[in-house]
Structure 1
Amino acid sequence: MGLNTGSTPGGDDGAPGQWLRRAASVADTVFDGAEFVGGYAVLRWDTGLGGIALVHSLIGGNADCEAVVRALRERHGERLAARYACVAAAQTGTQVTQPYVPRLLACDLDAPGRQYETTWAELATVLGQPAPYWFHAVRDRDTIAAWRPGAPPAVVPAHDIATPVTALVELAANEPDGSPAAELCWYLAREVRRRGHASTSRQIAELRKNAADGGDGAHLVLGAVPAPLTRPDPHEPAEMVRRAGWLSITERRDVLAHRVADFAQRWGTQDWHTGALTRVRPDLCATAHEWAQRLVPTVPGQPPTALEKVLLDNGRPAATHVLLNDPVAGIPVLHQSPGTRNAHLLTYALQRLPTSSPLAAVVLSCDLCWIRTQDGTLWLAPEQEGWGIGFGYAGNGCHALARLVDVLLEDISAPAVRPDDPDAPRGLFELLRDTPSDGTTTYTRAQLLAARTG
């Protein structure tokens, strides 16, 4: 089935798209195999006017033409111009037309920085055959390396290239029976596969409909299709199991735990026990100084725990940084640039406080909210990453803090609030809104209860 594409991207001579139009007149085009560079799979064809690359990202859904050219230049140096004349980069986003047809961007090597949109029909004309496309959930490196023109689609277990599940499976396989970490990892691995299979199957069906209707999808072939699922949809473990699983994983020091933690950072999970990344300045705040007194150095000479590694990665490790531990909250603390005017402590707020002692006071100082419980312990207020809490103004952060204080007055172990949680009583919000943003303000439990009911 053909497609009359009308004008190609770009204008007349000198406009983007010129190389593709020139190459369309070449009689013989020869497939030259694949190379892998900078996280990209690069399939190359030889034409009489130079080489053309069709690129799929192996680290994310989309391949950026300019990033690909930079990676290829690092690999080939001065030989690049002789090897490639044009780079076409497959995307996961759709063309304007519906149903689903993946976008295709291109840039010419003699016009760097001029990325433009092209069509699969235009590329197929240059290649003399439909070009292969791999949906991101079936981008298997070995399968792409083995592809040849005319090959049927490979059958690949669906996965997510941005969140690979190999570490989940390997960690779960070595856990004892009844392990919360194993139950959690098996569930996540199967859920990633289920989602990848569902989304790819849906998009393939839409693409085939587009091709049957004579759309641009008729000018590409599938490099792979998802393998059938042979299990029922996975059942999510109970919240307590999920939380226990993540807690045991984050305390481990082996590389599998590190990889599973990296998966969690990419995937996102509310059951991970730490929340917002928080900077603390004990030199500017008496409350922060009190908290910092309980910090202890980590044992030297041992690998970091999974949670420590996440913090170190976020903290841009430097030789001068010192890794500490909060033994009460059970979380790492990174002392950055000690001995300088920019010294500060980097740590995490918790998703929920691991205590049964009721809230005794809220301390607001240096843009941070602290919770003091009746046993005298000081805690950073629970806070989810991306959903900040604040005071001294009428914005979302203050509404979030009012909601948090409202629930902590009833249940000290309540989780950090979410944007869709119910609003707090107006009096409590107004109290926090009118709190001075400078200095330190402490509200006792009695004051907070009075504001809530006033």
Structure 2
Amino acid sequence: MAAALGQPAPYWFHTLRDRDAIAAWRPGSAPAVVPARDVATPITALTELAADEPDGSPVAEVCWYLAREVRRRDHTLVTRQIAELRKDAAGGGDGAHLTLGAVPASLLRPTPPEPTETVRRAGWLSIIERRDVLAYRVADFAQHWDGGRDWHTGAVTDLYPVSCTTAQEWAKRLTPAADDQPPTVLEKGLLRHADDADVLLHDPITSLPVLHHSPGGRNARFYTYSLQRLPTRSPLAAVVLSGSGYTCWIRTQDGTLWLAPEREGSGIGFGYSGNGCHILARLIDVLLDDISASAARSSDPAAPRGLFELLRDTPCDRTTTYTRAQLLAARTN
């Protein structure tokens, strides 16, 4: 290629592959100056959404921060790659046969500090309640970026009312979702699982969408989101463990039934000694003291051994209820 061009062949690093700059290149051209950006993490939706927000908006603060952080990371990466290429060329390596097709534009504004957790959660709460295409795109970015770490929702879970009386109790409070407008970000996420006969519902306690899959059929079940924190001050009164070793319900002293908080990718379970049981034991341990504590992580400190063993030895082929007194006794055993 160098022989055909009469000079070293042009090379564009991944984050510098600007279509117009590549098309305009000619032998002897100086490297184009283009923004460093990875096509796998486009920031256009972030900047467009932020541009329409009022001053002081947590949505804008979250979106601007992420857009600038992506640019900073891409710029840092390609700057290091260019330095390595030049070092290789100076040592007579393969880099000596290449010339840069583009270099990154300078970052003229430093990336601000990351917004506080309160601001991040407020921003995402507003975004995922929206019903417009731009919000969908920003939400998709978040899922690829960090899995929606700062959303108030966690894992998507499925519930089987045919085999779980607790799910039947929970289902009685569900109401029809609005059908005269586009879905919210969260509703759109559930609708990926939907068939034509499925029904979209609403949980008035958590304000979360619920998808009723195959209503009336043998395989009828519900899809919904768990929360990362329970929005209540009522203390934990009981834990209900139901079906197949993975569905955990929390009943608070005011009688409200909640799905146990769960993070995406950090499954909870019982009836075995694996990681899911350890995570559930950690969760129950903290909820006994603080009902609004966040969903447990696998990296959290281990729960008391007695509490873990109680969950490990719980049968997973039936529904088991543990009262607060029983859980506290196990924790101190």
| CA contact 2:160–2:221 (8 Å) conserved in 1 | yes
CA–CA distance in structure 1, aligned partners of residues 288 and 15 of structure 2 = 45
- The correspondence of residues 4-19 of structure 1 with structure 2, limited to 5 A, is none
Alignment pair present for 1:133 and 2:11: yes
Alignment pair present for 1:390 and 2:269: yes
TM-score after normalising by structure 2: 0.94
Alignment pair present for 1:321 and 2:198: yes
Distance of aligned partners of 1:273 and 1:160 in 2 relative to their CA distance in 1, 3 Å threshold = farther
Cα distance, 1:146 vs structure 2: 3.1
Other-structure match for 1:357: 234
Across the aligned residues of Structure 1 and Structure 2, the Cα RMSD in angstroms comes to 1.8
| CA contact 2:239–2:250 (8 Å) conserved in 1 | yes
- The correspondence of residues 171-182 of structure 1 with structure 2, limited to 5 A, is 171-182=49-60
- Per-residue CA shift, 1:209-256, capped at 9, x if unaligned? 112212222333333222111122321111011000000000111111
CA–CA distance in structure 1, aligned partners of residues 195 and 96 of structure 2 = 53
Alignment pair present for 1:431 and 2:317: no
| CA contact 1:275–1:349 (8 Å) conserved in 2 | yes
CA–CA distance in structure 2, aligned partners of residues 337 and 220 of structure 1 = 59
Cα distance, 1:124 vs structure 2: 5.3
CA–CA distance in structure 1, aligned partners of residues 209 and 26 of structure 2 = 50
Cα distance, 1:370 vs structure 2: 0.8
Which amino acid in 2 is paired with 1:162? Answer: A
Other-structure match for 1:44: none
CA–CA distance in structure 1, aligned partners of residues 216 and 22 of structure 2 = 52
- Per-residue CA shift, 1:77-105, capped at 9, x if unaligned? xxxxxxxxxxxxxxxxxxxxxxxxxxxxx
SS at match of 2:115: coil
Which amino acid in 2 is paired with 1:187? Answer: Y
Match for residue 422 of structure 1 among 260, 284, 301 = 301
Other-structure match for 1:252: 130
Other-structure match for 2:223: 346
Other-structure match for 2:322: 443
CA–CA distance in structure 1, aligned partners of residues 202 and 99 of structure 2 = 54
- The correspondence of residues 246-285 of structure 1 with structure 2, limited to 5 A, is 246-268=124-146, 269-285=148-164
- The correspondence of residues 51-66 of structure 1 with structure 2, limited to 5 A, is none
Other-structure match for 1:183: 61
Other-structure match for 2:286: 407
Alignment pair present for 1:243 and 2:121: yes
SS at match of 2:62: helix
- The correspondence of residues 212-251 of structure 1 with structure 2, limited to 5 A, is 212-251=90-129
Q: Between Structure 1 and Structure 2, which shows a larger proportion of strand residues?
A: 1
Other-structure match for 1:204: 82
CA–CA distance in structure 2, aligned partners of residues 198 and 153 of structure 1 = 18
Cα distance, 1:129 vs structure 2: 5.4
- Per-residue CA shift, 1:8-57, capped at 9, x if unaligned? xxxxxxxxxxxxxxxxxxxxxxxxxxxxxxxxxxxxxxxxxxxxxxxxxx
SS at match of 2:266: coil
CA–CA distance in structure 2, aligned partners of residues 387 and 124 of structure 1 = 52
CA–CA distance in structure 2, aligned partners of residues 355 and 141 of structure 1 = 52
CA–CA distance in structure 2, aligned partners of residues 452 and 125 of structure 1 = 75
- Per-residue CA shift, 1:166-192, capped at 9, x if unaligned? 111111111111111111111111111
Runs of 4+ in 1 over 6 A off after TM superposition: 125-128
- Per-residue CA shift, 1:281-336, capped at 9, x if unaligned? 111100111111111221112111112122223x2x43222221212112111222
Say which one has the larger Rg. 1
| CA contact 1:261–1:307 (8 Å) conserved in 2 | no
Which amino acid in 2 is paired with 1:211? Answer: A
- The correspondence of residues 43-122 of structure 1 with structure 2, limited to 5 A, is none
Distance of aligned partners of 1:133 and 1:407 in 2 relative to their CA distance in 1, 3 Å threshold = farther
Other-structure match for 1:147: 25
Which amino acid in 2 is paired with 1:335? Answer: H
Which amino acid in 1 is paired with 2:37? Answer: H
Distance of aligned partners of 1:453 and 1:220 in 2 relative to their CA distance in 1, 3 Å threshold = same
Which amino acid in 1 is paired with 2:307? Answer: L
Match for residue 297 of structure 1 among 173, 176, 182 = 176
Distance of aligned partners of 1:148 and 1:178 in 2 relative to their CA distance in 1, 3 Å threshold = same
Which amino acid in 2 is paired with 1:342? Answer: N
Which structure 1 residue ranges, 5 or more long, are not aligned? 1-122
| CA contact 1:138–1:157 (8 Å) conserved in 2 | yes
Identity value in percent: 74
CA–CA distance in structure 1, aligned partners of residues 305 and 135 of structure 2 = 44
Distance of aligned partners of 1:353 and 1:149 in 2 relative to their CA distance in 1, 3 Å threshold = farther
